Chains A and B, each alone.
Chain A
Amino acid sequence: MSADPLRDDYADQTAQIKQFFEPVMTEPIPERMHLRQPAWIAHAKAAILVGIGIAIGLMVSMVAPLSSDPSLATAQLPLRAARAHVVYASEVRHPVEVDATQQEHLVKWLSKRLGIDLKVPVLAREGFELLGGRLLPGNEGPVAQFMYQDQSGKRLTLYVTRPHKGDALTAFRFAQEGPVSVFYWMDSECGYALSGELERPALAKVATAVYRQLEN
């Protein structure tokens, strides 16, 4: 007998409730729950779709400069992040420049290069471990990319960039860039984009965790 059988009962009870209702989390969301959006978001999405078409053309030459028009920068964030994801997540031997065993060094280095104190979200509860990170060239300065991997080898990347002049704050948004799903947002300091070749609900779960950790 354990010291406090009632307490154990409640731990079991909690686990049982969780397990019983867990399947609801991954059920497809019914059509009627799709939130109606103001027209301008639909337009922005259309613009991004056009952007993807252009991006496919640009994919062959990653160095092709993107427009520096600041009004386009927000729309470009998920696109750039998805492109960087495609390039580095598929790297077998060199996915990162600095691996997670040197996490402290990694964070200091990237923080210094971006000129902000970077936080690295912990995604163990979501099943992802930090592999490491790298520095990437952005349109207007350096960009940090952190890479995570789950047990099956599926990879996610978190792309962190300084905002450009004229960028508006952007709340949590979703974009699909070819096979890559991206959740992105901009706060007063940084733009963030979490990319992965995951279904939207699965990525949403991880992105929510990232968002909560970074915005608190």
Chain B
Amino acid sequence: MDYELIVPYIPNLRRYARALVGDRDGADDLVQDTLERAVRKFHLWRPGDLRAWLFSIMHNVFVNQLKSRKISSDQEVDDTFAAPVPGATRADVLDLQRALGTLAPEQREVVLLVALEDMSYADVSRALGIPMGTVMSRLSRGRERLRRVMNGEVAQQRSGLKVVQ
């Protein structure tokens, strides 16, 4: 099989994994598991959108990893954006990686696929196996939450000062 076809996408997979998982080793583990699975299942791929196929495999591996490590639930996000960033300082709030970590994994996936891979709603829907409507709502919630975290609106130690414009 022509695994070489997958190779050009490895940097994309690594970039996405890094943003999704946060740390380098964890991200590369995710990529590694994804590649092994992709190679095993390559005979199932029919010429079409290889990128979406690879990202859908990464999604499945990611979900399995979350389950087996039981990471997810403490990062579950409520819709009121009331959940504070645990122990965040002002500087931390500005840290994009940490801010992304405050998103629920399923929101983070959608926000990152759109931002990093320029995926359309349809692409994301295919890659994650969820309906377009779900893509849209996760995207808007995820973006909004990320915006508020980055602006320090959700930080625990919120500054009382307002920026004078």
Q: Report which A residues bind B (CB closer than 8 A).
A: 6, 9-10, 13-14, 16-18, 20-22, 24-27, 29-30, 32-33, 35-38, 41, 170-174, 183, 201, 204-205, 207-208, 211, 215
Write the nearest CB–CB distance from B140 to chain A, whole angstroms: 9
Q: Which residues of A contact B39 (CB under 8 A)?
A: 35-36
Other 15 A-B pairs with CB < 8 A, given A24-B11, A171-B5? A9-B147, A10-B143, A13-B115, A14-B114, A14-B115, A17-B19, A21-B15, A26-B11, A35-B39, A36-B39, A37-B4, A172-B2, A205-B11, A208-B8, A215-B47
A214 to chain B, nearest CB (A): 13
Query: Which residues on B are within 8 Å of A, measured CB to CB?
Result: 1-12, 14-15, 18-19, 28, 31-32, 35, 39, 47, 96-97, 100, 111-112, 114-116, 143-144, 146-147, 150
Beta-carbon contact of B14 and A13 below 8 Å = no
**When A and B form their complex, which 8 residue pairs have the shortest distance between CB atoms, in order from nearest?**
A171-B2, A17-B115, A24-B15, A208-B8, A35-B3, A204-B8, A14-B115, A172-B5
Contacts of B31 in A (CB 8 A): 33
CA A41 – CA B19 in complex, angstroms?
Answer: 33
Residues of A within 8 A of B8 (CB): 172, 183, 204-205, 207-208, 211
A10 touches B147 (CB 8 A): yes
Per the bound structure, the CA–CA distance linking A211 and B5 in Å amounts to 10
- Assuming the A-B contacts A17-B19, A21-B19, A35-B3, are A30 and B28 also in contact, with contact meaning beta carbons closer than 8 angstroms in the complex? yes
Give 7 CB contacts A-B under 8 Å. A14-B115, A18-B115, A27-B11, A171-B4, A172-B5, A204-B11, A205-B11
CB pair A13–B10 under 8 Å, yes or no, is no
Return chain B residues, CB-CB under 8 Å to A201: 11
Across the interface, name the chain B residue whose C-beta is closest to A20: B96
Residue of B nearest to A203 (CB): B8
Contacts of A38 in B (CB 8 A): 1
Alpha-carbon distance between A207 and B11 when the two chains are bound, in angstroms:
14
Q: What is the CB-to-nearest-CB distance from A23 to chain B, in angstroms, rounded to a whole number? A: 9
CB-based contact A27/B14 at 8 Å = yes
Q: Name the residue on A nearest B144 (C-beta).
A: A6
A167 CA / B147 CA spacing, docked (Å): 54
- How far, in angstroms, from A25 to B32 measured CA to CA in the complex? 16
Interface-centre pick from A10, A22, A25, A35 (highest chain B CB count, 10 A): A35
A43 to chain B, nearest CB (A): 15
